[in-house]
Amino acid sequence: MTEEALVARAVEGDVDAYATLAERYYGSCARIARRMLRNDADAEDVVQDTFLRAFRAIGRFERGREFRVWLFTILVNQCRTAATSRKRRQQRFSDDETALDRATDERPTGIVDETSAVAAAVDRLDPLLREAFLLKYVEGLEYAEMATVTGAGISALKMRVKRACDALRPMLEAIYHD
Amino acid sequence: MKTTTIVLACLLTASAARAQDARLRGVLDAETLAKVTRLTDSARVESLPVEPLVGVALEGAQRHASGARITKAVQDYLGALRGARAALGSDASVAEIASGAGVLLSGVNGDVLRQLRTASPNRSLTVPLVVLADLIARGVPKDTAARAIAAAARANARDDDYSALRRFVEQDIIAGASPAAAAMLRVRSITGVPPADEPVP
Amino acid sequence: MTDGDFERLYERAGAALRTPAPDEDAARDRLVKRIHAESLRSTTRRGNAFLPWWAALAAAAIAFAAGLGTGRATTSSRSSTAAQVAGGAAADAAQRPIEFVFVAPAARNVSLVGDFNGWDASATPMRRTDGRTTWSVAVQLPAGRHVYAFVVDGDAWVADPQAPLAPEQWYGQRNSVVVVAASGDRRS
């Protein structure tokens, strides 16, 4: 069944159609959430919450809109909210994020596979740059779609992607050229 | 000729009033009908839109509201229409006045309508005012919603821009964003101006 | 390295991050179970054995209806007195066909009410389309701002979740707003 047909049935109340969409997009959402929150348990909670919110709101989904973009908009907002809440909780203790924010071009040690190495590199990015990189290079969104998802302008998003790539370049060169 | 014209105008006005009374006569009790008719006649004399008032009365009748409630609704709406016309100018369209009345009923000051008119002297304000009222109804604080719409007006936003703004803010609120943050964030797609708290790229 | 080489580097990194996590299948299964549980919870609360409650209230309508002119649905066979009376100093005389659509699979009947038909639930019944889950009707509306709602099964007045909310709550419930642009005059 085409996605358009699945979405139409989900809007009309077919829970199995919605569940199929959720299965289809779970991976993408999980990838974004894991990198944005840098914690797998938190990421799963946020992804579940995202799909449940979308489920409750699917009746308002406008025909002709792209489901993935709508879903990612909800997800990105949930990730930002979760990250803000966690940061407030953590600020009473030594802040691991501060250490991670001091990005260097050192190759991470103790890493054994390409995915983990790249993930560690991306995790060092400023959250907004990380978000832009994930949406562009991992999920393949167009800039106009990214603008809808993030609320940022296209020019700002292009700048964020550029800065993310500039920061990642030495780390990726180290990962891929050893 | 002038006398004939005036008489003809009076007959036509009376005829229109009787027709509208006929609609209300079928659904309102005598006391409520008399009060509502006095209110619609006041509107007519002041050249304010009458149809929105009749619509409110008919809605109340169909919802089986009490006569007192219907009368109060029409009275309050008349006041709001009056305020909207004063703020938007005497050449405001019926749709602008009705939309403006809705904004005033949301608790927004008439100065906001005046500012919007100043920012958009040659564009219809119907859609911006409808969107402003909708944002407030969805929980965006009045001041924040007014600032967002005013910023969009200054940026020469079109009706489609306001429509998109409304949809995006609604979706963001569903997604868990605070209504205020959603409104200020999404208006940037129209104005191109970043909010104060966004890191400079 | 050239710009093209760098671009391929970033895309390779992106591809690496698309590798599924080891526990992803199990997490996906947990999500699907939660969705079905949520569906049952919502269904039980509203007593509808077959469909989630939000399906009956979901609606799609045309909020800012300029320039659509679909004209695909027939207009109501019963026109109200209110619609026939001239609008006085009100709107532009030119009228445009505006389609209203409402998704309510479990409804027995749905009608459109608004300031254009005296809020009379018998004036503009809607008819089922699209495999019997959707109700629709097209009405001729003059340019301007119109307030409306749907009446489900004769007594439940429902605002359109897809449309702007009318700020006025004269009788305790909000209605919806549609703005019909004047013919050929978008002023934008």
Smallest CA–CA distance, residue A163 to chain C, in Å, is 12
- Does A111 map to a domain? yes
**Touching subunits for chain C (3+ Cβ pairs under 8 A):** A, B
- CA-nearest residue to C1 within chain A is A173
Residue B55 and residue C119 in contact, taking contact as beta carbons nearer than 8 Å: yes
Going by C-beta distance under 8 Å and a sequence separation of 6 or more, which residues neighbour residue B16? Answer: C86, C88
Task: Give mean pLDDT, residues A53-64.
Answer: 82
CA-CA-CA-CA torsion sign (B124, B127, B128, B133): positive
In B63-125, which residue ranges form alpha helices assigned H by DSSP?
Answer: 67-88, 94-105, 110-119
Q: Is residue A98 part of a domain?
A: no
Which tens digit of pLDDT belongs to each residue from B69-98? 999 999 999 999 999 999 999 899 999 999
- Chain B CB contacts of C181 below 8 Å: 159
From C55, C56, C60, residue closest to A62, measured CB to CB: C60
List the 67-126 stretch of A: residues with Cβ below 8 A of B: 70, 73-78, 81, 126
Range of the domain at A139: 104-178
**Same structural domain, A73 and A113:** no
- Which residues of chain A lie closer than 8 angstroms to C6, CB-CB? 165, 169
- The token pair at A165 is 């790539």
**Does one domain contain both A1 and A84?**
yes
A171 in a structural domain: yes
Q: How far apart are the C-alpha atoms of C176 and C159, rounded to whole Å?
A: 6
Please report, for residues A140, A142, B51, the alpha-carbon distance to residue C6 in angstroms, rounded to integers and kept in the order given. Answer: 17, 19, 65
Query: Tell me, what CATH number does A85's domain have?
Result: 1.10.1740.10
CA B88 to chain centre: 11
Cα B138 from Cα B179, distance rounded (Å): 7
Backbone angle region of A125, left / alpha / beta, with phi > 0 → left and psi within -120 to 50 → alpha:
beta
Q: C73: which 2 tokens?
A: 């649905």
Domains of chain C (ranges; CATH) run 3-46 (no CATH), 55-180 (2.60.40.10)
Judgement on whether residues A138 and A175 belong to the same structural domain of the protein: yes
Q: How confident is the model at residue B19 (pLDDT cuts 50, 70, 90)?
A: very low
Residue type, B130: V
Q: What is the CA radius of gyration of chain A?
A: 18
A154, A147 Cβ separation under 8 angstroms: yes
| Count of the separate structural domains present in chain A | 2
Query: Are residues A109 and A159 both part of a single domain?
Result: yes
Helix (H, G, I), strand (E, B) or coil at C177: strand
Same domain (yes/no): A7, A63: yes
**Together in a domain, A115 and A37:** no
Tell which of B172, B173, B174 to mutate to test the A interface (max A CBs under 10 Å): B174
Which helix (H) or strand (E) covers residue C128, if one does? strand C127-129
Domain boundaries, chain B: 16-105, 109-195
- Which of C156, C165, C182, C188 lies closest to C65 in space, CA to CA? C182
Choose the weakest-confidence range: A50-59, A98-107, B69-78.
Answer: A98-107
Print the SS3 string covering chain C: CCHHHHHHHHHHHHHHHCCCCCCHHHHHHHHHHHHHHHHHHHHHHHCCCCCCHHHHHCEEECCECCCCCCCCCCCCCCCCHHHHCCCCCCCCCCEEEEEEEEECCCCCCEEEEECCCCCCCCCCECEEECCCCEEEEEEEEECEEEEEEEEECCCEEECCCCCCECCCCCCCCCCEEEEECECCECCC
A1 and A63 both lie in a single domain = yes
**Cα C2 vs. chain centroid, distance in angstroms?**
50
pLDDT per residue rounded down to tens, chain C (188 residues): 888 989 999 999 999 999 998 889 999 999 998 898 888 766 543 322 223 334 334 433 333 443 222 212 222 222 222 222 223 333 446 788 999 988 887 888 999 999 999 999 999 999 988 667 788 999 999 999 999 999 999 888 988 878 899 998 898 888 999 999 875 332 22
Residues from chain A contacting residue B170 (CB–CB below 8 Å): 60
Contact A56, C54 (CB under 8 A): yes
Chain-chain contact of C19 with A115 (C-beta, under 8 angstroms): yes
The answer to whether residues B179 and B139 touch, using CB atoms and an 8 Å cutoff, is yes
Q: Are residues A89 and A5 in the same domain?
A: yes
* Cα B87 to Cα A150: distance, rounded to the nearest angstrom: 36
- The position carrying tokens 């109804």 is B137
Q: Where is pLDDT greater, at B151 or B177?
A: B151
Judged against a pLDDT cut of 50, whether residue A137 lies above it is answered with yes
Q: Tell me the chain B residues in contact with residue A45 when contact means C-beta distances shorter than 8 Å.
A: none
Residue A122 lies in a domain: yes
One domain, residues A70 and A132: no
Q: What pLDDT sits at residue B171? A: 84
Which chains form contacts with chain B, at 3 or more CB pairs under 8 Å?
Answer: A, C
Q: Please state the length of chain A.
A: 178
Q: How confident is the model at residue A13 (pLDDT cuts 50, 70, 90)?
A: confident
Q: Evaluate whether residue A99 is within a structural domain.
A: no
Verify whether the Cβ–Cβ distance C188 to B159 is below 8 Å. Answer: yes
Q: Count of residues for chain C?
A: 188
Beta strand C59-61 with C95-103 is antiparallel
Mean pLDDT of chain A: 84
Share of chain A above pLDDT 90, in %: 49
The residue written with tokens 């005296």 in the block is C118
